[in-house]
Amino acid sequence: MKNTLLFVLPMIYISAANAATPWWEQPTVCRLNPTNCYSAMGAGFESGMWDSTSNCWGLKLICPEALTEPATQPIPIERTALKSGKGILSDFDTDALSASGDCYGRRKSSKNGATVSVNGKYVNVYCPGILDNPDETLENGEIVYNNQPTCQTLAESGYVATLNDDCFGKYYDISNYFIECGGTSLLPARIIILNGADYNITHPGMPQTMDAANKMFETMYSTSKIQHDKYFKNK
């Protein structure tokens, strides 16, 4: 009886020591191969859910807008499904945390975020307030999915599509500048300083059509160039 007690007591002591250590860290327990697991989980992860295909704990939360099926909140998706792209819109990067920081899936971008992917093509992100009816608001501006702005539609509100850090759009006060668009280019052919001229007042001989106005500006430009070359010759 005395020998039996001596054998049991050490076992009780060892069990008590191991009880303070999580079971998955105890040396006597087989561990999962962590190769297919996430190295760390924080914002944008559901750490309490099991990924059956990777045999690991932890699922990545994918933003609703990045999913092919409509959703109102982030959805946890297994790692192999993410690798295959199943259920994910190709315009979104599921390795990029959203601006809100609670899920993964941000529009693929370039030019420091000034262009983003829409239906497989990159479109300009216009600075806040430029577009009349944007389809989507991003962290640095707004986009439309179809019928992209033209030089003329932007010029009507005094904007030109020049890159402005991480969005497109620079404002010119139309009372001081005339934005002349030409052809199919998104950028204007010229921006003419009006020098205080009020183009809203009708004067005799004032051009009545855009073509007539362009011809007048062309003549003014040619005359100014001749005078400039005459009196400001390079030395």
111 and 124 in contact (C-beta within 8 Å)?
no
Residues making up the chain, counted from first to last: 235
Residues whose CB is less than 8 angstroms from the CB of residue 111 and which lie 6 or more positions away in sequence, other chains included = 163, 166
Judged against a pLDDT cut of 70, whether residue 168 lies above it is answered with: yes
| pTM value > 0.95 | no
Task: Work out the pLDDT band at 201, boundaries 50, 70, 90.
Answer: low
DSSP state of 113: G
Number of H helices, E strands in the chain: 4, 14
Judged against a pLDDT cut of 70, whether residue 7 lies above it is answered with: no
Task: Work out the pLDDT band at 10, boundaries 50, 70, 90.
Answer: very low
Q: pLDDT of 15-44, one tens digit each?
A: 455 556 766 666 666 666 667 788 888 999
Give the pLDDT score at 4. Answer: 47
Task: Work out the pLDDT band at 8, boundaries 50, 70, 90.
Answer: very low
- Amino acid letter, 180: E
Burial 208-233 (b: 16+ CB within 10 A, else e): eeeeeeeeeeeeeeeeeeeeeeeeee
Judged against a pLDDT cut of 60, whether residue 235 lies above it is answered with: no
Encoding tokens for residue 215? 């011809």
Task: Work out the pLDDT band at 11, boundaries 50, 70, 90.
Answer: very low
Q: pLDDT of 98-120, one tens digit each?
A: 998 999 999 999 999 999 999 99
Query: How far apart are alpha carbons 217 and 189 in whole angstroms?
Result: 12
Give the pLDDT score at 71. Answer: 93
H helical segments located in the chain: 2-19, 79-84, 151-155, 210-231
45 and 60 in contact (C-beta within 8 Å)?
yes
Average pLDDT of the residues of the chain: 84
DSSP state of 127: P
Give the pLDDT score at 5. Answer: 46
